[in-house]
Structure 1
Amino acid sequence: EIPSQIVSDCKDAKKLLFQVDLDANASAVYSIKVGTPQAYPTQAQTTFMPRRKDDISWENDRSIFRMYGPALATDKTEPLISGGLDIWVKRTPKLVSQQWYQDEFDGKSSYHHDNGEGLDFYSVGKTLGAGGVAPFIDGKLYLVGNNFHTYTILENGPIRTKFRLDYAAYDVAGNPISESRIITLDAGSHLNKVVVLYDNKEDMCVAAGFPFRGFAEKAKTKVDKRGIADCQDIVFNKEAGWIAYGEPNHPENGIIFLGSIMPCGACDMLIAENHVLNCGKAIAGKPFVYYSGGAWSKGGFENIQAWSQYMADYAAKLKQPIKVCTSYCDQQEAACEKAPKAACEKTCNK
């Protein structure tokens, strides 16, 4: 028996989720039987943190992320309005964020210092952070004008966590636009799937990215005709739709690697507004989908080459997803051959 989870799609239909490990062009057969499933350990979880100024924090066995809520926007000591994505790094598969918060509250230790499991040493501020998103029009980023005002946790389980954040309308090139973000993180993944719902009346360019820090001499980096650009700390691949980026090396804490993917291709990649940007088109009335996240040099990724390979592999899997067919036949080996069509899910910005 392998871990599984019942999840709901956008139409509230129930689906059975389980993870598989397949080589290219390989196949496997899985049987579903009636019975009582085992109690599986949770590997993906989202938590609302009112005691920490309304943070929404989510975590899997690889990374920890958070975004900022309404209480932080009105905090009397250090207010912050930001729709940027924060990342905490760790070297343990255990879910540790709630204990880190509690130790901070109790004064035992700070999650800004490495306690042997990892830490928070990434700075978001008024930026996109570790892969946030914003409209990008005529060379200008329009960051959200407020922190999220409502949240809904949709899934928590052994394999997947999923939640929704809603943002009040803010100015985008003279037009008020509100947005919602539905974020999904699966066990084993360094990247979040982000579905953004804008109420834009016309198509618009949006950009996911990260602040470009400490490399002013490289700020004129260009993408070549193939859509690929390499330097010591950043790799673009426009054709495949992904960017891999390495933060400046911290002498004690190492390097945070960040990445984003436009699964249906990027319309542009550039360094602008002090950010590394991966641009796509938000079609009016349709969800905009991208992926973002990160990893750590002390958590399994030695250098930018290893991280960019992960990004390339992830993007390739999105373009060629596993084909799934189901059958009630006893002869399960022949079920896929007899099925009229292979059921395949793929979400796209188009």
Structure 2
Amino acid sequence: MRYKYFKRALFAAGFFQLITLTACTKTNKHEEINIEIKNTLGFSRYEIISLQRNKLQPLLDKNDPKNIRIKEQGADQYLVTQWVDNDGDGKGDELLFQANVAANATAKYVIMLDTIQVAEPKAKTYSRFVPERIDDYAWENNKVAFRAYGPFAQQLVEEGKEGGTLSSGIDLWLKKVDYSIIDSWYKKNVANPGYYHIEHGEGYDPYHVGASRGTGGTGLWEKDSLQVSKNYVNYKTIATGPLRTVFELTYAPWSSYGVQEVKRISLDLDSNFSKFEISYRSNKMIPNYTVGITLHDKKGEVNINKPKGWFRHWEQIDSAFVGEGIVLSPKLIDTAFVHDSKTADQSNLLILTNPKDKITYYAGFAWTGSKQIRDVMDWDEMLDKQAKIIANPLEVKVIK
């Protein structure tokens, strides 16, 4: 009897200790940070929020950054998060998560500590250098995909060899699926050259860039002529996803002004627009820094909305339509116009700006084949919303 009583007592003590330990592992109120996110616009917004590391310091002092979790107040499930190391020192500088905020409303989120793993999402952002296709740099999310061209592709053209591309324009890949296609399309293209130029059910690449600006390529406008760079010479991948991909492309000095240009490009999940943050310098004053969209065969429609800061081209490609657009602060814009040229790939919609040494703009597209838009009115509405989003960022308040 004594032995049975002893076992019961020992079990009860162990059980009590287990409960105590379990309770101690839960986050207490001193290990939580509350976030309020305010949307001042008349439509709901589903956007990536960035929290700087210093705002999270109370949780980071004695804890692993990998154990930080975020959820909407009152919800059970944690959200997908992503640390971004911008300076390459091995520590995350900003923590990203995706917030859903209704029109003219405030959403509340809680940051806490937990070791529970959050499942990897199917839809994500992604980017990489692509040596199997000479030296492309490609990037995508669950809605759109882009690519730029590197130095060896330029060298092939300059040496008169096949397979190269000489262009600092931005190429578009028309995808209709929400999962990543970059690796798959390039792999299949190696086995079957030209694969991704043919529709196989996931989308394809019918978009021609050539020497044009594609969608979002830059240049300098002077004396009725556009001076442009050649291909990028170096790249740097900063983050691949799942919520935001970030990288930099560096260009050799170009134009008669010897412009030295670095493009920091990022793409968020669920956005149709890549963000271009461009730094440039020269020993001379640079006139008319220009961003453009190719007009291809000049059969498309153009909409120049300078007061709101958005510019659109709408064209038919094969049996569907593509809307391309650029959005930036109206304060940066000098003028915008259609440059009609008889030379192939030189007809562009051009936006002339006069920033000091940096400029930020958004360039993107939507394709009716993806069912994201139905017509040009949908595309104009998307551009109009993007302009409002830029002018009215979500207001984030950290409550410790």
TM-score, shorter chain, exceeding 0.5:
yes
1:116 maps onto 2:197 in alignment = no
Give the TM-score normalised by structure 1: 0.83
Alignment of 1:187-336 (within 5 A): 187-200=269-282, 201-215=284-298, 233-247=301-315, 249-252=316-319, 254-265=320-331, 266-272=333-339, 274-283=347-356, 286-299=357-370, 300-328=372-400
Structure 1, unpaired ranges of 5+? 217-231, 329-350
Read off the aligned partner of 2:124 and give its amino acid letter.
Answer: Q
The alpha carbon displacement at 1:245 in A equals 1.1
Q: Deviations over 1:267-322 (max 9, x none)?
A: 21100151111222231xx3211110111011121211110110000110110111
Structure 2, unpaired ranges of 5+? 1-77, 342-346
Q: Deviations over 1:227-282 (max 9, x none)?
A: xxxxx7222210111012112x2343x12210001224422110015111122223
Q: Deviations over 1:97-121 (max 9, x none)?
A: 2101111112297110110110000
Q: Find the aligned partners of 2:318 and 2:208 in 1 and give their Cα distance.
A: 16
Read off the aligned partner of 2:267 and give its amino acid letter.
Answer: L
Q: Deviations over 1:102-155 (max 9, x none)?
A: 1111229711011011000000000101221112233321111x2111100001
**Cα pair 2:100 2:107 within 8 Å, conserved:** no
**Cα pair 2:220 2:226 within 8 Å, conserved:** yes
Q: Find the aligned partners of 2:298 and 2:191 in 1 and give their Cα distance.
A: 38
Q: Identity over the aligned pairs, expressed in percent?
A: 28
1:175 maps onto 2:257 in alignment = yes
Give the counterpart of 2:216 among 120, 127, 131. 131
The alpha carbon displacement at 1:34 in A equals 0.8
Read off the aligned partner of 1:245 and give its amino acid letter.
Answer: H
**Cα pair 2:206 2:317 within 8 Å, conserved:** no
Residue of structure 1 equivalent to 2:12: none
The alpha carbon displacement at 1:203 in A equals 4.7
Q: Find the aligned partners of 1:308 and 1:133 in 2 and give their Cα distance.
A: 22
Q: Find the aligned partners of 2:242 and 2:367 in 1 and give their Cα distance.
A: 23
Q: Find the aligned partners of 2:127 and 2:88 in 1 and give their Cα distance.
A: 22
Q: Find the aligned partners of 1:8 and 1:209 in 2 and give their Cα distance.
A: 31
**Cα pair 2:303 2:312 within 8 Å, conserved:** yes
Q: Deviations over 1:318-344 (max 9, x none)?
A: 10111111012xxxxxxxxxxxxxxxx
**Cα pair 1:244 1:304 within 8 Å, conserved:** no
Residue of structure 2 equivalent to 1:148: 232
Q: Find the aligned partners of 1:162 and 1:15 in 2 and give their Cα distance.
A: 13
Residue of structure 2 equivalent to 1:338: none
Residue of structure 2 equivalent to 1:226: none
**Cα pair 2:128 2:240 within 8 Å, conserved:** no
Residue of structure 1 equivalent to 2:149: 68
Counting matched residue pairs gives 306
Q: Deviations over 1:203-233 (max 9, x none)?
A: 53222121223337xxxxxxxxxxxxxxx72
Greater strand share, structure number:
2
Q: Find the aligned partners of 2:389 and 2:286 in 1 and give their Cα distance.
A: 27
Read off the aligned partner of 1:2 and give its amino acid letter.
Answer: L
Greater CA drift, 117-126 or 13-22: 13-22
Residue of structure 1 equivalent to 2:174: 89
Moved over 3 A (4+): 8-13
Residue of structure 1 equivalent to 2:243: 159
Read off the aligned partner of 2:148 and give its amino acid letter.
Answer: M
Which structure has the larger Rg over C-alpha atoms?
A: 2
Q: Find the aligned partners of 1:33 and 1:46 in 2 and give their Cα distance.
A: 30
**Cα pair 2:326 2:363 within 8 Å, conserved:** yes
Residue of structure 2 equivalent to 1:58: 139
**Cα pair 1:256 1:294 within 8 Å, conserved:** yes
Q: Find the aligned partners of 1:156 and 1:268 in 2 and give their Cα distance.
A: 35
